[in-house]
Amino acid sequence: MTCTLSGVRKSRCHDGAVIVDCGVYAGGERQDLPKDPETVAQAIDDHGECFGWVGLHEPSDAEMRRVQRLFDLHELAVEDALKAHQRPKVERFGDAIVVVLRTLWYVDEGDAVETGQLSVFVGPRYVVTVRHGQGGELATTRQNLEERAQMLGHGPAAVLWAICDSVVDGYESVAESVEVDVDEIESSVFSADRTSDAERIYRLKREVLEMRRAILPLREPMEQFAHGVPGINPKAAPFFRDVADHVSRVADQTESIDTLLSSALGAHLARVSVQQNDDMRRISAWVAIAAVPTMLAGIYGMNFDNMPELTWHYGYYGILLLMAAVCFTMYRFFRKVGWL
C-alpha cells in the first residue's frame, strides 16, 4: 500500500534543529513524502494502513504545542515531555501510551554518566519521540528499522520496541565502561603504591546512582510489555521479552558494580588505616631510638661538680660508643618485629 497526498508542499521540515525526522510508513516501507508533522498527520488521517513517526529534539513550547494539536497528545504528557526531569514510567491516556525513558552515555575523561530523557508517544497510528540531551540518538535506530520491513509491518509497536532496545543497549554500554573504571580502581586499591582512591570511588558511586535511577524503574514496564498490554501489537510481545531480559541483566550488573565500589571503598579505608598504623609504628620506633642518646646526653649535660665519669680520660668516647650500641640494638629489634 502506497500513501499519496495531493496538495502537499514538497519541502523539508523548516525546524531542522528541532524536528529531527518525520516519516510515514505503510506495509513496512517508508513513503516518499515531505518531512514535516503536518504531512504525517494528514497521511495517517487519509489512509488507514499508514502510521507516522515524528522525532523531536529539545523542542520549544510552541513547537511541542504544534505537534500536540496535530496528534491530539494529552496535556499532562506534553508537560512531562517538556520538563525533561521525569522518572522512567509508562502511562496510558485513552488509546495512547506514553513511555518515558532515561538515556545514558558515558564521558570517560571525567568518569561521568550523563543523562537525558526520551518521551515516546505511541498511538494507534503514530509515534512521536521527544528527546532531551546529547545521548540516545534515534537516527541509527530509525535507519536500522527501515531496513527491516517485516518488523515495521507491526506498526507503532515495532518503533517502540526498537527505541527501548536501543536505549537499553546504551545502558549496557555504559555499564561496561563503568566496569572498566571499577577494575582500575580495584587494581589501584590493592597495588603496592600509596594511592588516594576515595574521591574517585565516591564519584563513581554517584554515577552508578544515576544509572540505577534510569534502569531500575524500567524493569516493571518492560515486563508488562513482554506479557502484552492493550494498544501494543501482541506479536511484538516476544521482542519486548528480550528487552525485559536485557533490562534485568543490566540492572543486576549495576547492583554488582555498586557492591564492588562499596567493597573497594571499605578496602581503601581499611588500607589507609593500616598505613597510618604503620607510619605511627615507624615514628614511635625512631622516637624510641632517639630517646636513648637524648637521655644520656641529658644526664651528662647536668652541671654537677661531683660526677665520677667526668674525669675519666675515655669517658666521651665511651659514652658515644654506648649510645651507638644501644641505638643499633634497638634498630635491629624494631626491624625484626616489623616496625621499621
Check whether residue 204 and residue 295 sit in a common domain: no
| Beta carbons of 126 and 54 less than 8 angstroms apart | yes
Number of independent structural domains in the chain? 2
Q: How far is CA 229 from CA 90, 91, 157, in A?
A: 11, 12, 11
Chain segment 120-165, per-residue pLDDT in tens:
999 888 999 999 988 778 888 888 888 887 888 788 888 999 999 9
- Phi/psi of residue 232, nearest 5 degrees: -115, 130
Check whether residue 326 and residue 198 sit in a common domain: no
Question: 267, 253, 113, 258: which is closest to 198 by C-alpha?
Answer: 267
Check whether residue 245 and residue 223 sit in a common domain: yes
Check whether residue 40 and residue 154 sit in a common domain: yes
Check whether residue 266 and residue 283 sit in a common domain: no
CA distance 326 to 321: 9
Chain segment 56-110, per-residue pLDDT in tens:
998 888 999 999 999 989 999 888 888 878 888 888 888 889 999 999 988 877 7
**How many other β-carbons are positioned within 10 Å of the β-carbon of residue 285?**
19
Q: Which of 270, 304, 319 is the last residue of a domain?
A: 270
CATH code for position 167: 3.30.460.20
Full residue range of the structural domain in which residue 323 is found: 279-337
Q: What H or E segment, with its residue span, contains residue 23?
A: strand 19-26
Question: 265, 264, 256: which is closest to 179 by C-alpha?
Answer: 256
Q: Which of 244, 270, 296 is the last residue of a domain?
A: 270
Check whether residue 165 and residue 289 sit in a common domain: no
Question: 77, 97, 102: which is closest to 247 by C-alpha?
Answer: 102
Check whether residue 46 and residue 154 sit in a common domain: yes
Spatial CB neighbours of 161, under 8 Å, sequence gap ≥ 6: 236, 239, 240, 243
Check whether residue 175 and residue 53 sit in a common domain: yes
CATH code for position 310: 1.20.58
| Beta carbons of 142 and 53 less than 8 angstroms apart | yes
The pLDDT of 186-195, averaged and rounded, is 79
Q: Which of 270, 293, 308 is the last residue of a domain?
A: 270
